[in-house]
Chain A
Amino acid sequence: MSKEWKPRIVAFFCNWCTYTAADLAGVSRLKYAANIRVIRLMCSGRVDPQFILDALARGADGVLIGGCHPGDCHYVEGNYKMLRRFQMLKRMLKDLGIEDQRVRLEWISAAEGEKVKRVVNEMVGQVQKLGPLGIPEKFEEWDKEMEHFAAQVAEKDAASACACEPQGKPALATA
């Protein structure tokens, strides 16, 4: 798989501006990278941080969110609400070791088909450089580590139980 690795980018576009801009890009036959998969929502305000985390956890290498320009939101201010959430999420993602360029928020109006093309190509290029995020694989690894750890603990428990000195509650119970 690594030989032919291509970034997978999930995009959440608001119905009124960015999704329409992507339609415009299509109608104008602009060409951009095929690595992006767009999910349509009514407003960028509907983008639950869990969507972003879920996409990353399921193997996305990047997530793009597109909304109307500030002041232009079809729903008055959904895009501002998204911006606030996005800033918080960014800090969390940083702590998780997920690079800045992997999650991106862009304001793209219905007229900016050209910007859809530019942003997608830019982002695909950046994520390509960063390489795979590979969270599903990491999950597998972590699961293995956990199993290994659990087995070790169980072994130790069994050993100490033999030494007839009960240790009270096992250390993992609170973890």
Chain B
Amino acid sequence: MKQQANGEIRIGFYICHCGHNIAAMVDCPDVAKYVEKLPGVTLSRDYKYMCSDPGQELIQKDIREFKLNRIVVASCSPLLHEHTFRCATEAGGLNPFFFHMVNIREHDSWVHTDRKDATEKAKALARAAIGRVAHHEALEVKKVPIHPDVLVVGGGIAGIHAAMTLANAGKKVFLVEREPSIGGHMAKFDKTFPTLDCAACILTPKMSAVGAHGNITLWSYSEVTKVDGYVGNFTVTVKRKPRYVNEELCTGCQECIANCVYKEPKFLDEFNEGLGKRKPIYISFPQATPQVVLIDPEVCLNFKRGTLTDKCKKTCVEACGEKKAIDFKQTEEIKEIKVGTIIVATGFQAFDAKRIPQYGYGVFPNVYSALEVERLVNASGPTGGEVILRDGRHPKAIGIIHCVGSRDKKTNRWCSRVCCMYSLKLAHLLKEHTEAEIFNFYIDMRTPGKSYEEFYDKLLEEGVHFIRGRVGEVTDWAMTPEEEGKLVIRVEDTLAGFVRRIPVDMVVLATGLEPQSDAQAVRRMFNMSCGSEGFFLERHPKLAPVNTFTDGIYLAGACQGPRDIPDTVAQAGAAAAEAMVLIDKGYIEQEPNTAYVLEEECSGCKSCIPLCPYTAITFDEAKEKASINEALCKGCGTCVASCPSGSIAQRLFEDDEVFSEIKGVLAYE
């Protein structure tokens, strides 16, 4: 297959300065001069920006002019620009796989401090590539069709927006949500900053649109349990938890709830953060989508006591009547779907304020987390929007503590980005609802965003107090008669320069955003990576912010890092667009790095067969040789390394190629 007519290898070598990124630490002209003398090298150049149009044209021109048949570029990481240069090589009239890339930026100039060492390393890496590229062969890119359906995991605002975008473009979408209703955290919010439009008013129309959309299959109260396959052809297993109510038959009339044997709601309401109560048969919130009730088997008498006791009169079944939607025998359902692309939008969890005991959350009843306050000021919340404390009083003074579980080495080091703004919003709402004195305790006020700073200015004018300093503790220990019966916030006012004690009736903890507690399990399932803080890792922080390292899997929303609603929606749209790029293209190009059997050498020992995780290797009984199905091979090379007779090879990573790389990197001057 060595395509050369006369077998002569003519290598063109290019070293990129990348402005100062490489040139500052690596002596590029010196490397070019060194490479020029290496065997097989026809031409060696250094150039300021190889990835620029003139840089790429230079390669094409040289291929034609100097009859080059191999190209090596030493520049940044192949994960960034390998594709660019392969295309340039192809445009010059060569097979794109006659190109090889040397990483002298991420792996050299950016990580080393001695110019001499870095230059020497660049030479060694270049030498390895020159040795390797001579063995390269012409390869064909394999095209694999893409399944046009998309799976969106998570039905918060990110998942909703991504699903709607795709569905409106005519794509079929499966939207899987763990909770009984979609809506996520946004559905719990009262107003949204900085415009103060009500969250429900802008979200719920979108939610019902999702429920009604012909292209969206909405599976709430369901979880993804298994993901198999690869880009274009994923097989996903979804577990549908039993709601004990038939989704097709339930109309959402809620007669069953009214007629439950429990006349009063008695059980902790998850949607209202435990501030309200619900019945065993319930709907999360009035605008829940789908509009289907569900039964909590933990508390429903029928499940707890069995049908034999007369405690449960099945009044709900009676109330449902002809619709016959209630089904106590419903069981978990396992569904298997095929999709081509996946958008992960699993969101965040709020920081558990109990982890900072000195703030007294869970100890003093009048210390609230921000999400609780969102429900408390919400007109559809447990108190109908009236701010009543747990002890029944109305607060006269309220302290809002910022950065709870953010910017703190003891808990989470990152800034959660939204807390300053939502604290301002809550300050405004609480003032509106209670006319209380409001104190904000902040470290730095962070309001970067359109109209955010203006919102802060507005709050300053409204007479909300701002005290700069991280709060030391919240205590009920009174030092003066005025502090009696109050919660005292102890803080060093860093602008005034002394420690203050501020007595308040209510404390609001602006809790930060954290990765979901099961983020690691989700990451494993989708074969993604997490950053050190536990949020899912994007492929490139700037240039591929919604892509992951696994092709065909995209990220949207706060599962990738703390962000506000506008950013989440923008990112969800971007993820949907990325998925559509693949779907509308119709196929993916697979790297031709598959393994193949050298039949004359294979002894038929079969030791490779159990090694392949994709069952791509079978035994050809007639020939008594192993045989690799190229369509199934993903190109890991495990069988290649394990074959006792060396009779399996991998394209792009042939033994010759790797051995010449080893030889090359060890060639020091």
Contact = CB atoms under 8 A, between A and B. Distances in A.
Interface of A: 8, 10, 15-17, 19-20, 22-23, 25-27, 29-32, 34-35, 37-43, 45-49, 51, 54-55, 58-60, 71-72, 74-78, 81-82, 85, 109-112, 114, 117
B658 A25 contact: no
B113 interface: yes
A17 B529 contact: yes
Most B C-beta atoms less than 10 A away, residue of A8, A15, A112: A15
B171 interface: no
19 contacts: A8-B666, A19-B79, A20-B529, A23-B106, A27-B541, A32-B112, A34-B114, A37-B125, A41-B637, A41-B658, A43-B638, A46-B638, A54-B662, A55-B662, A72-B524, A72-B527, A74-B549, A82-B641, A109-B529
A81 B108 CA distance: 30
Nearest to A37: B665
Contact of B636 (A23, A43, A60): A43
A23 to B, nearest CB: 4
Nearest to B125: A37
A26 B105 contact: yes
A126 B112 CA distance: 19
B451 interface: no
B403 interface: no
Contacts of B105: 26
Given A26-B106, A34-B112, A46-B636, A51 B662 contact: yes
Contacts of A20: 79, 529, 549
B110 A74 contact: no
Nearest to B25: A34
Nearest to B530: A111
Contact of B641 (A31, A48, A54, A55): A48
Contacts of A10: 662, 665-666
Contacts of A47: 641
A34 B108 CA distance: 7
Contacts of B79: 15, 19-20, 23
A45 B529 contact: no
Contacts of B114: 34
Contacts of A76: 613-614
Interface stretch (B116-124, B133-141, B455-463, B508-516): B116-124
Contacts of B668: 8
B107 interface: yes
Contact of A25 (B106, B117, B659, B663): B106
A37 B532 contact: no
Contacts of B124: 37
Nearest to A40: B78
Given A29-B111, A34-B117, A45-B641, 11 more contacts: A19-B79, A23-B77, A42-B650, A43-B636, A60-B662, A60-B666, A72-B527, A75-B636, A75-B638, A78-B638, A111-B532
Given A23-B106, A110-B537, A111-B530, A34 B642 contact: no
A52 to B, nearest CB: 9
B149 to A, nearest CB: 24
B611 interface: yes
Contact of B663 (A29, A58, A74, A78): A58
A55 B663 CA distance: 7
Contacts of B537: 110-111
B655 interface: yes
Contacts of A35: 117
B638 A30 contact: no
B148 interface: no
A43 B124 CA distance: 23
Contact of A71 (B524, B593, B636): B524
B662 A81 contact: no
Interface of B: 77-79, 103, 105-108, 110-114, 117-118, 120-121, 124-125, 128, 524, 527, 529-532, 537, 541, 549-550, 593, 611, 613-614, 634-638, 640-642, 650, 653, 655, 658-659, 661-663, 665-666, 668
Contacts of B113: 31
Contacts of A48: 640-641, 655, 658
B653 A29 contact: no
A81 B638 contact: yes
A34 B122 CA distance: 10
Contacts of A117: 111
Nearest to A59: B666
A29 B110 contact: yes
B121 A34 contact: yes
Contacts of B614: 76
A75 B614 CA distance: 9
Given A37-B124, A110-B549, A74 B527 contact: yes
Contacts of B524: 71-72
B634 A75 contact: yes
A16 B114 CA distance: 28
Given A20-B549, A23-B79, A59-B666, A42 B637 contact: yes
A43 B637 CA distance: 7
B113 to A, nearest CB: 6
A117 B593 CA distance: 29
Nearest to A24: B106
Given A25-B106, A34-B118, A45 B659 contact: no
B73 to A, nearest CB: 15
Contact of B111 (A30, A41, A49, A58): A30
A78 B111 CA distance: 28
A15 B108 CA distance: 17
Contact of B106 (A8, A17, A22, A49): A22
Contacts of A59: 666
Contact of A77 (B106, B613, B642, B659): B613
Contact of B593 (A26, A42, A109): A42
B532 A114 contact: yes
Nearest to A30: B111
Contacts of A74: 527, 549-550, 636
Closest 5 CB pairs of A and B: A26-B106, A46-B637, A45-B638, A75-B636, A37-B665
Contacts of B121: 34, 37
Contacts of A78: 613, 636-638
Contacts of A37: 121, 124-125, 128, 665-666
Contacts of A23: 77, 79, 103, 106-107
Contacts of A27: 106, 110, 541
Contacts of B550: 74
A168 to B, nearest CB: 35
Given A46-B640, A46-B650, A85-B641, A31 B106 contact: no
A117 B110 CA distance: 12
Contacts of A32: 111-112
